[in-house]
Structure 1
């Protein structure tokens, strides 16, 4: 029997470990997991269509478990390549020194999340499980061997696809009555999920800035490594503008019968953290010690703009 792989836990004196554990849990990141189903619920409620609350709760719990698997598995895969050895003391592998236990926990979250999604699919349509499995597949090839597409700079498009049309389509089908799940609502999923998913991709994009040196040294060719921090920082306003434009386009253009209510423009509440993010990276993109929190500003933009859109769509039920 082989001995479990143990990674030395040499980070942080005891007074710092509480903060490191909080960073390792990454609880704010779960806003990206729950956003597709919250958007689907707001969209259906605003159109006076039934929203199955039991399915909503099951989907939320399953989505959280599946993102936990993604985060834990990424820590394991990054430990294998060495990219997190020095630059990420809050990696669970580094904190615990036990790669094997983190891997077991990751697999447990995956099995639990898929079991719940299978229940959601059984109560709605098999397409839900198929779409979620596709999302999980994209999550694996992002960091998992032998693919590791995130190391080739492809993490952001994979993120957009998984958290955008695929997850949103699954959520729309899951919340609908079982008889409505025969045809996948691709148009609605694209309109509803594209803008918020681009904001989710921005969170991933901003997570590269403070570790660009370590990534480059370990062969992780993230977009920020490829472009350089100055050029990458100039792209952030375009991420924000494109995300909001995709949210607002169904309100402002297109056939009147298909337009979203003006209340859907509430996604604008995400602009304040977006402006702070743009200012921070434009001035300090080269200083990793000052921009470590940039991904959390991006996350606030993602969460606020997405929640604003979901609420605005729900309020459309009473518009006009």
Structure 2
């Protein structure tokens, strides 16, 4: 039986396919790494920031598009109506792959320009490592996300690599505070990915994708999510007590509003795909608010 989709529904599906909220994962690492650099140097290079923001968005376009293509190849997205491939047909796979790759090339070339200005390839190496890990998550022959280690890849890519790159873009050296901040950003980013598994356990199993939620079951995964989330705030407090973070970093605790909403929602509906499917968007709200407030906490003492 063929599902008929009207123009209004198709428009909603395209908005979902574009994944605008997910582009926050390109913004927050850049924001946090930059604010740490400003706090430590009292300088801000707006040109470098804007150019690197453009590069980061381009690379995120590649990540989003290529993931849809690679998931379509395994059939794990067969019931995902807002997949680019399901919206346009399997015959468009090559087009979307090249479309995504063109944005990857633009992002890497833009980063190369920054590295050229710095006369230092470190920034480019960090970005290339992040891209390689990003590809390994879904791309053949690796498909590490299907083996249940996608969250580890996500943590390294959007945490230590991305935040360190953002810091290095402003201040070409290394920083303990930036590294600590990257751990927080990486852990919160992983929550978004973790939450995206709850509503597609059956499809993941059918496609051979053994995500952590598939391996643990939804009930235990919901408990892990809560402890994981509370652990992030505990770690922020530890970094403040150790004077790695300034006291105003505790502003990030205001994001507990979204965190508690997320934990309650997932614990209540973990085994109801239609109800729990929006959990990743609550996780994005937590991620955005925590990341923005953490950055403000770094900035305010230096104002």
TM-score clears 0.5 = yes
For 1:298-317, list aligned pairs within 5 A: 298-317=283-302
CA distance in 1, matches of 2:220, 2:240: 32
Q: Are 1:165 and 2:160 counterparts?
A: yes
Please say if residues 65 and 97 of structure 2, whose CA atoms lie closer than 8 Å, have aligned partners that are also in contact: yes
CA distance in 2, matches of 1:41, 1:317: 13
- Partner residue in 1 for 2:185: 196
1:53-110 deviation per Cα after TM superposition (whole angstroms, max 9, x unaligned): 1000011111111111011000000111111112x11011111111122111111111
Please say if residues 141 and 148 of structure 1, whose CA atoms lie closer than 8 Å, have aligned partners that are also in contact: yes
CA distance in 1, matches of 2:41, 2:244: 15
More off after superposition, 35-44 vs 142-151: 35-44
Q: 2:206 aligns with which of 217, 227, 237?
A: 217
Please say if residues 264 and 316 of structure 1, whose CA atoms lie closer than 8 Å, have aligned partners that are also in contact: no
SS in 2 for 1:219: coil
Please say if residues 247 and 309 of structure 1, whose CA atoms lie closer than 8 Å, have aligned partners that are also in contact: no
CA distance in 2, matches of 1:35, 1:284: 28
Q: Which runs of 4+ in 1 moved over 3 A?
A: none
CA distance in 2, matches of 1:102, 1:59: 24
Structure 1 or 2: larger helix share?
2
- Partner residue in 2 for 1:143: 138
- Partner residue in 2 for 1:265: 250
How many corresponding residue pairs?
A: 299
CA distance in 1, matches of 2:234, 2:195: 20
Question: 5+ residue gaps in structure 1?
Answer: 1-8
- Partner residue in 2 for 1:4: none
SS in 2 for 1:12: coil
How far is 1:44 from its partner? Answer: 2.1
Q: Are 1:93 and 2:78 counterparts?
A: no
1:229-257 deviation per Cα after TM superposition (whole angstroms, max 9, x unaligned): 0000001112212222333322112xxxx
How far is 1:194 from its partner? Answer: 0.4
Q: 1:219 to 1:306 in 2, by over 3 A?
A: same
CA distance in 2, matches of 1:246, 1:109: 35
- Partner residue in 2 for 1:281: 266
Q: 2:54 aligns with which of 61, 65, 68?
A: 61
How far is 1:33 from its partner? Answer: 1.1
**Normalising by structure 2, what TM-score?**
0.95
Q: 1:25 to 1:41 in 2, by over 3 A?
A: same
How far is 1:10 from its partner? Answer: 6.4
Q: 1:127 aligns with which of 98, 122, 131?
A: 122
CA distance in 2, matches of 1:243, 1:119: 35
Q: Are 1:38 and 2:23 counterparts?
A: no
Q: 1:79 aligns with which of 72, 81, 84?
A: 72
- Partner residue in 2 for 1:5: none
CA distance in 2, matches of 1:222, 1:260: 33
Please say if residues 177 and 244 of structure 2, whose CA atoms lie closer than 8 Å, have aligned partners that are also in contact: no
